[in-house]
Amino acid sequence: MKKIITFLFVFSAVFSTAQRKQQSPYAQQIQEFDKYVEQARTQWMVPGLAVVVVKDNQVIFKKGYGTRQLGKPEQVDTQTLFACASTTKAMTAVCLGMLVDEGKVNWNDPVINYLPDFQLYDPFVTRELKIRDLLIHDSGVGNTDFLWGAMNIPSGEIIKKLSLVKPSYSLRSSFIYQNIFYLVAGKVIEKVSGQSWADFIQKRIFDPLSMTRTVPGYKYVKDPNQSKPHMKVDGSIQVIENSIADEVAPAGAVWSCVDDMGKWVICMLDSSKYAGGRLLKPATWTEMFKPQTIVPANEFYPTMQIIKPNWTTYGFGWFQHDYKGKKVNYHTGSLAGTVAINAQIPEDKIGIYIYANYDHAEVRHALVYKAFDLFALGGTRDWSSEFLKLYTGILEKNEKKEKDFEANRVLNTMPSLSLQEYTGKYTDPLYGEIEVSVNDKNLAFAINNYVKASLAHWNYDTFYGPYEKRWDGKAKAVFILNASGKADRLNFDGMEFKKTN
């Protein structure tokens, strides 16, 4: 009997010690955070999301919530694949940093040293644009997402069209977010390394970090455990088609899961170290996170209206600001129907990565600051409710603008011409072409045979209505007549075309 009692006592002591060792020092915060994430997901009506939190070089929390697809039973787990979207940019920057470490590239080298055919609208900017400028959105070239969002052209053709884009501001005088220059950065990587960007990032980042479920583009996604994008269309949340960013891959094409992204977050927090070594030399890693350019308030996320930072900057693939006296590095990723965010406070060795499968689900921001408060800085603010109120207000303002536009419609007007007289081909060297035809009582528009819309007469020579894919919103087409009274030009959502036949 004594032996049994002694055995039970020893077993109990060993078990209790093991249990204490296994219990996280953040057990209470984890429980609170877990509950908060699910409440916030429900509050924002997000079908599914996944989260990983890193503290002191260890994953202390990771979990999937909700469903991969609305109306289907498959649950999101830590291996569910999502689009990383623009959080890919930090990876592309690291790839360039590796080439800097090898002495093959210098941050201050002119881009044309590596891509001699590269050309922008302004010859001076073409000559002066440096490698670092590709990563910090200061080139002077405004948003050019129509080059891949409204066209189905290869990456090389996308870059060629940059020579037709008039600058929005002078070189390095301001900041406008620019995806295509990350594509150019990818071309530099390819030229210098002799490998495709996809192969380079796979071999130099994903393989060393054992990111076994991470791929460099949607065309590589074969696993059925993947999230579907969702958007509110005509008042209800619906599943939509994936928005494919493979032609601008270095800007936002990577797909992954929180199991893998936890490894990436640790690596980026720990000066690029991993089990087999390090991705970057310490000085290069430091340069990645140095503020490279100031970001004006109107170019930053609306969440800053509540955070109220003292400064906002951009590094190599990272937005930056202060929060409670600490420097935050972060970047969002957004494609139609899906979002991501990667955020860190290096000083407190905390990082977080979040995926969600609902268009511009800004609950991602709320969970970032909740995690920072719970696991590092302290605080009890309900960020989810505060941000929900903010973004609901923004949505209402946008809806009001649309209603105001519709309310200002001039009623009882007729088109200047018969519908048939508006038809034909309209072209522009930059924007491509639009084929206009008659579709019953509407005009059908095929933009680069890629984006389509059937628009009803609105007033005078303006036609208005939803795109074929209704989640793309509504389009406005305005025809301009020449002195002979014939359709001569077409303004389609700000893109100008001239009639050619």
- Domain range summary for the chain, segments of one domain joined by +: 27-87+196-203+210-399, 419-499
Mean pLDDT over 86-113 rounds to 98
HSE of 406, CA atoms in CB hemisphere, 13 A? 10
pLDDT band at 23 (very low <50, low <70, confident <90, very high): low
Place 501 in a pLDDT band, splitting at 50, 70 and 90.
confident
Q: Which helix (H) or strand (E) holds 91?
A: helix 88-101
Per-residue 3-state assignment (H helix, E strand, C coil) for 157-187? HHHHHHHHCCCCCCCCCCCCCCCHHHHHHHH
- What number is the average pLDDT over the span 151-167? 96
What does the pLDDT read at residue 24? 77
- What average pLDDT does range 22-35 have in this prediction? 90
Higher local confidence (pLDDT), 155 or 12 = 155
pLDDT of residue 14: 41
pLDDT of residue 22: 57
Looking at every residue in the chain, the average pLDDT score rounds to: 94
CA 69 to chain centre: 20
* Answer CATH for 419-499 from 1.25.40.10, 3.40.1360.10, 3.40.1350.10, 2.40.128.600: 2.40.128.600
3 state SS of 215: strand
**Backbone CA torsion sign across 72, 74, 75, 81:** negative
Look at residue 26 and tell me whether its pLDDT is greater than 70: yes
Of 252, 180, 191, 204, the C-alpha closest to 95 is: 204
Higher pLDDT, 221 or 13: 221
- Give the pairing type, strands 48-55 and 350-356: antiparallel
**Rounded Cα gap, residues 362 and 472, in angstroms:** 19
Mean pLDDT, residues 172-195: 97
Exposure on the CB side of residue 257, measured as CA atoms within 13 A: 22
pLDDT of 347 above 70: yes
Per-residue buried b or exposed e for 345-368, using 16+ beta carbons within 10 Å of the residue's own CB: bbebbbbbbbbbbbbbbbbbbbbb
What's the confidence (pLDDT) of residue 345?
98
Measured in degrees and rounded to the nearest 5, phi and psi for residue 458 equal -105, -70
Distances (CA, A) of 182 to 33, 83, 91, 192, 225: 35, 17, 11, 15, 29
| DSSP one-letter code for 226 | B
Taking every pair of Cα atoms in the chain, the longest distance, rounded to a whole number of angstroms, is 111
478: helix, coil or strand?
strand
Nearest one of 454, 458, 453, 466 to 415, comparing CA atoms: 458
User: Cα 60 vs. chain centroid, distance in angstroms?
Assistant: 25
Rounded Cα distance, 332 and 85, in Å? 8
CA quadruple 230, 233, 236, 238: dihedral positive or negative? negative
Is the confidence at residue 189, as pLDDT, over 60?
yes
pLDDT tens, residue by residue, 205-243: 999 999 999 999 999 999 999 999 999 998 899 999 999
Are the beta carbons of 449 and 434 closer than 8 angstroms?
A: no
Q: Are 253 and 184 in contact (CB under 8 A)?
A: no
15 has a pLDDT exceeding 60? no
Phi, psi of 267 (to 5 degrees): -60, -45
Quote the pLDDT of residue 375. 98
Rounded to whole angstroms, how far apart are CA atoms 137 and 175? Answer: 6
Are both 27-87+196-203+210-399 and 419-499 of the same fold? no
- Residue 106, number of CB atoms within 10 A of its CB: 13
Model pTM score? 0.93
Give the number of C-alpha atoms closer than 13 A to the C-alpha of residue 155, restricted to the C-beta side: 21
Report domain 27-87+196-203+210-399's class: alpha beta
